[in-house]
Amino acid sequence: MAKDLVRTRRYVQKFYQMRTQLQAVGLRIQTLRSNQQMADAMRGATRAMASMNRGLNLPAIQRIMNEFEKESATMDMKEEMMSDAVDGVMEDDMEDEEEEGDKILQQVLEEIGIDVSQKLGEAPTALHAAATPIANKKQAVALGGDDLPSTSGGDNGGVTTAEEEALQERLNRLRGP
């Protein structure tokens, strides 16, 4: 009985080995079939490409491309001429509209009593602003607090030198030693 049991276990083990080997053979056959199908597909693609190459007439295609290029250039020139003509007509209308708009604006400003030329003469120029460089000024920045000195007066942004020094001193105290 023990011998039969040992023999049966060996047979089971051999059957497992044979099953594994059969699966491996099946996978190899499947791989070979896939390779054969790929080779057939490549053969078909090669035939199709060869057929296309035989049917391809390069001089005719080149002639067609040259004609297309000529016609495209002609169309571009015509489009540019039309665009210039339309722009010329529209510019005249735009200039008339701008002049008319300026006249209406001037009339409205005169009605409310504002003389634009006088106000423009009083406006500061960029040269005056550039005469006082900002980079040389110290700027104190403090966080919080409502007891800041008044910023009215003075000609350097509304803060006098004494106020700047007070702000700087306060900032230094806040930063600590």
For 28, 37, 69, the CA distances from 79, given in Å and listed in that order, are 66, 55, 15
Encode pLDDT of 89-122 as tens digits: 777 667 777 888 888 888 888 888 776 665 655 6
Encode pLDDT of 7-45 as tens digits: 999 999 999 999 999 999 999 999 999 999 999 999 999
DSSP secondary structure letter of residue 112:
T
- Say whether pTM exceeds 0.75: no
Residue 2, burial from CB neighbour count under 10 angstroms (0-12, 13-18, 19+): exposed
